[in-house]
A and B are shown apart, each in its own frame.
Chain A
Amino acid sequence: MHYFTPVQTQRRRKHIPDIRLVNVTKRFGNIVAVDGVNLHIYDKEYFSLLGPSGCGKTTLLRLIAGLVHPDEGEIYIGDRLVNEVPPEDRDIGFVFQTFALFPHMNAWDNVTYGPRVKGFNIKKAETIGHEVLEMVKLHKRLDAYPDELSGGMMQRIAVARALAAGARLLLLDEPLGQLDAKVRNEIRYEIRKMTKDLELTAIHVTHDQAEAMAISDRIAVIKKGKILQVGTPKELYMTPKSVFVAYFIGESNFLEGYVSNLSKRGAVIELRGGIKVQARVQKTMEKGEKVVLAIRPETIVIEKGIKKSKNSILGIVERITFEGTDIRYEVRLRNQDLVVVVKPSLVEEWLNVGENVTVSFSSGKTHVFAYPEVGLREELTVE
């Protein structure tokens, strides 16, 4: 299905800009919410700012919108430095987490608010209103007030309102946070499809990595006001550059150890209890360095009994959790480390609690990171 294109958006679609942030810092008292951020978001890209609560991602979005002003650095929309440009002159559409639909206006007045305050003639404002309401499939509810609409409907109206204002850049602040899981899944694809059909640039803030992975062209992972890594969902998942990214994107087992040997093919990592495994390491690592070995649960092979193969460790199944499509085993290794192994529930023969097993993994599917200065537990804290 192809969406209608609002007149205003159609007129401007060729001028959708890149967004650039150069050394942007924002402080609230002693708290540094955004810390020297550099970021380039491309024209027509669906970009997500992903991070735990309080990491500064919403502040970053509000900086781009002009709702807060940077203490340092520059923000460009296209070639235009917008640090001092008020929000109404940035040609943006902002969808708030709580939707912020005006409670004293019905759906129609909410949606046509943008065209009206921008001084479009009434006919043009009405054309746009009808188009966007049709687009979000709510043209039959134009008389409804926000408190008469469901969460999903309010969300659609909020997006329609932002689009009707002729936004070239759509900023979405946790737009799905208040919706039920089913509705959330449905709407996230709708929003992506809409922005792609209208050739808009979208910046989407979320703390839900699954949501970010599902809809984004690229994602920036943020922690404590700093961008840790920017990449496509696949890049972030396959080649995380830090322990935190490996932890926050997808799921990982983290085993502490030392680099016991280095060779051209990789390295030998000595885990607790003297267990040695082979893994890929970064070039900068040195022999004897304390490291964290990360392995994705779904890349681990688990077999009954004692098997001898490369990178295999013996253990006992401690807990089994059935998760519908997957089955999740928690295995206590012989060095007392705990690893999680995830397998498809329908195709695997199930193991039992207390059963002796061998877990093994390919060295090519491991990631080795320098041990965090603050300690592993602190590094992985998301609060």
Chain B
Amino acid sequence: MPKPKIAEALDRLSSKAALKNTIYMLSIIIFFALILLPPILGIIIKCGSIQDVLDQPKLMSEAFKAIAASFGVALFVSFIDVVAGVPMAWIITRGKSKWLNVLDTLSDIPFIVPTATLGYSLFLFWGDLGGLSSLFGVPFVSRGWLLVVLLHFAFSFPVVVRVMVGALLDYKLEYEQASRTLGAAPLTAVRTVTFPILKHSLIASFTLAFARSLSETGATMMVAGAFINGPIFIQKHIGEEGALVFVSLILIALSSLVFITIRLLGPKLRMPVRKVWPKAERKLSGSVVTSSRNGITLLIFFVIVLIPSLFVAIPAFEAVVTGVLPEAIGGLGVWGDYWQSLSLSYFVGTVVTLLNVVIGLPMAIIIARRKIGNGPSAILDMLVNIPIIVPSVALGASLAIFWKENFAFVPEIWLLIFAHLSITYPYFVRSMSAAVERISIELEEAGRTLGAKPLGVFRTIIFPLTKYSMFSGAIMMFTRSVSETGATLVVSNLVTAPVLLVNWVENEVSTSTLGLGCGFLILFSFIILLVLRLVVKGKETY
């Protein structure tokens, strides 16, 4: 097929160094101006208000308790996530059953369910009398810290599984086989060879789960009850700048400290590879232990992650019988607002995803190909992570301060988009830069020596080879944006679907209405993902 003239012209333009550098420079400027600095500056310019908290010892002690609770939950959950997620990734990558593809897809379900909905779903399963508790007659797990832990485990578990599945698929099996031929039992081989080689991925999965747990607000609000962590504390004191700035600053500072520590000490961390217990490890490698481990892993996945995440669908089915469904479809009563908020959520999700692809792609290439030199590119690589670790409610509040006080003319819808841009940007840049890094530079060089211009190389080599990463990056951005609650609540008065659902919970609307509201959100997200997946698959013609 002949190349369209416009593509030819763009290809020619792309070989001009000045244009390339302008694009890279613009993407860096946009990153600092829109993504990184506003959430931080918003807090910093209000530093003076901290005095309000310092003057109230009771408030300060509450704030510290909340921060400690945040870190406690995040550390505990990330640890459990890795312990349970790695065996799950192992089953998916090393198992032989034809059902593994299904299991792989199922493990992504908590990604698809918007977090506020997920929180509600978990509450229904663990705490409500219609769920697991119906077996016992009393709430099995009431709102509080345990339910928060269960919730955080459910939504951060897929993060660990996704990262570790990728790592295990890329892992050169020969190392493990070499270890086996040298006499190591399977467990010894994994402990002394596979895990130390995959150490970076293990740390990365822990870090991502940790960040996700630390910053999550929307779902936590649904299940927290009397439990207060950092983001909930901020949410509860939304009108008090001092409390917001104080807790946000400490959370950002402490989490940055944790991240820098992990980054610096991670590579130096030595796993105990010299000590071996041949007899014990051989016994632990036996089929009984392995089968039990697989069984427990699957049990944890189904009972603690999957079923609670989808439990909300049951009242949605009731809605068909109770007559709520026709009401909903007709947009009667509360449903008029629902459809409006749902449209707003998908509109914002789409705009944010498209914008981030445009501004994030050059950044991903800068990081992967060290376009501005090794040092500066590495610094950018680290800075890109920061928006992930800022609690979303703090990020939203900070953005609101920054934009409303300095640029009051910016419409609210843009504030919402800016907040979602900041929150989702790292997901896309991370997954794309990793994908570009995996492509040998020689392929690009081969394309250039065969006459392709830089844009042509991207279109014909980089894009076809990275389109699945781009797709998964886009999915993560879209779902994250659609499910975002914490930042949305504070950055604007616009009501997106998750915000509306939180309001419904607070206003105690009927279970079937709530269930149906959540069910629609899950169903539509699922359909959108399915269509996207099919579109990407359909274009697979190279």
Residues of chain A whose beta carbon lies under 8 Å from any beta carbon of chain B? 65-67, 86-88, 90, 92-94, 96, 98, 100, 102-105, 109, 113-114, 116-119, 161-162, 165-166, 171
| Of B177, B179, B186, the contact of A113 (CB 8 Å cutoff) | B179
B192 touches A117 (CB 8 A): yes
B188 touches A103 (CB 8 A): no
Q: Does B441 contact A (CB under 8 A)?
A: no
B181 touches A117 (CB 8 A): no
Find chain B residues with CB under 8 A from A171 CB: 181
A119 touches B178 (CB 8 A): no
Find chain B residues with CB under 8 A from A87 CB: 177, 180-181
A93 CA / B177 CA spacing, docked (Å): 11
Find chain A residues with CB under 8 A from B174 CB: 96, 98, 100
Q: Does B184 contact A (CB under 8 A)?
A: yes
Nearest A residue to B178, CB-CB: A100
Which residues of B in the span 278-331 have a Cβ within 8 Å of any Cβ on A?
A: 278-279
A165 CA / B193 CA spacing, docked (Å): 16
A104 touches B183 (CB 8 A): no
A87 CA / B276 CA spacing, docked (Å): 18
B273 touches A103 (CB 8 A): no
A294 CA / B199 CA spacing, docked (Å): 57
| Of B181, B188, B273, B279, the contact of A105 (CB 8 Å cutoff) | B273
Interface hub of B178, B181, B183, B199 (most chain A Cβ within 10 A) = B181
Interface residues as binary, B156-192 with A (CB distance below 8 Å gives 1, 0 otherwise): 0000000000000000101101111111111010001
- Extra inter-chain contacts (18) besides given A67-B181, A100-B177, A102-B193, CB under 8 Å: A65-B181, A66-B181, A86-B186, A87-B177, A88-B181, A88-B185, A94-B177, A100-B175, A100-B178, A102-B175, A103-B197, A109-B274, A113-B184, A117-B183, A117-B185, A161-B182, A162-B182, A171-B181
Find chain B residues with CB under 8 A from A161 CB: 182
Residues of chain B whose beta carbon lies under 8 Å from any beta carbon of chain A? 172, 174-175, 177-186, 188, 192-193, 196-197, 199, 273-274, 276, 278-279
Find chain B residues with CB under 8 A from A119 CB: 276, 278-279
Find chain B residues with CB under 8 A from A116 CB: 274, 276
B184 touches A102 (CB 8 A): no
Find chain A residues with CB under 8 A from B175 CB: 100, 102-103
A114 CA / B192 CA spacing, docked (Å): 12
B182 touches A67 (CB 8 A): no
Name 20 A/B residue pairs within 8 A (Cβ), A-sorted: A65-B181, A67-B181, A87-B177, A92-B181, A93-B182, A96-B177, A98-B172, A98-B174, A100-B178, A102-B197, A104-B197, A104-B273, A113-B184, A117-B184, A117-B188, A118-B278, A119-B276, A119-B278, A165-B182, A166-B183
Given contacts A104-B196, A105-B273, A117-B278, contact A96 B183 (CB under 8 A): no
Find chain B residues with CB under 8 A from A102 CB: 175, 178-179, 193, 196-197
A27 CA / B478 CA spacing, docked (Å): 43
Given contacts A67-B177, A88-B185, A117-B192, contact A100 B278 (CB under 8 A): no
Q: How many A-B residue pairs have CB under 8 A?
A: 79
A86 touches B178 (CB 8 A): no
| Of A67, A117, A162, the contact of B276 (CB 8 Å cutoff) | A117
| Nearest CB of chain A from residue B282's CB, rounded to whole Å | 8
A100 CA / B171 CA spacing, docked (Å): 12
| Nearest CB of chain A from residue B507's CB, rounded to whole Å | 56
A243 CA / B279 CA spacing, docked (Å): 53
| Of A66, A90, A96, A118, the contact of B178 (CB 8 Å cutoff) | A96
Listed from nearest, the 10 A-B pairs whose CB atoms lie closest are: A119-B278, A94-B181, A114-B182, A100-B178, A117-B184, A100-B174, A87-B180, A118-B183, A165-B182, A104-B196
| Nearest CB of chain B from residue A116's CB, rounded to whole Å | 5
A117 CA / B178 CA spacing, docked (Å): 12
Find chain B residues with CB under 8 A from A117 CB: 179, 182-185, 188, 192, 276, 278
Interface hub of A86, A87, A103, A117 (most chain B Cβ within 10 A) = A117
| Nearest CB of chain A from residue B182's CB, rounded to whole Å | 4
| Nearest CB of chain A from residue B183's CB, rounded to whole Å | 4
B178 touches A94 (CB 8 A): yes
Find chain B residues with CB under 8 A from A67 CB: 177, 180-181
A161 CA / B179 CA spacing, docked (Å): 10
B172 touches A113 (CB 8 A): no
Nearest B residue to A116, CB-CB: B276
Nearest B residue to A62, CB-CB: B177
Find chain B residues with CB under 8 A from A65 CB: 181
A94 CA / B184 CA spacing, docked (Å): 13
A114 touches B183 (CB 8 A): yes
Nearest A residue to B184, CB-CB: A117
Interface hub of B175, B180, B188, B192 (most chain A Cβ within 10 A) = B180
Find chain B residues with CB under 8 A from A86 CB: 180, 186
| Nearest CB of chain A from residue B290's CB, rounded to whole Å | 12
| Nearest CB of chain B from residue A276's CB, rounded to whole Å | 53
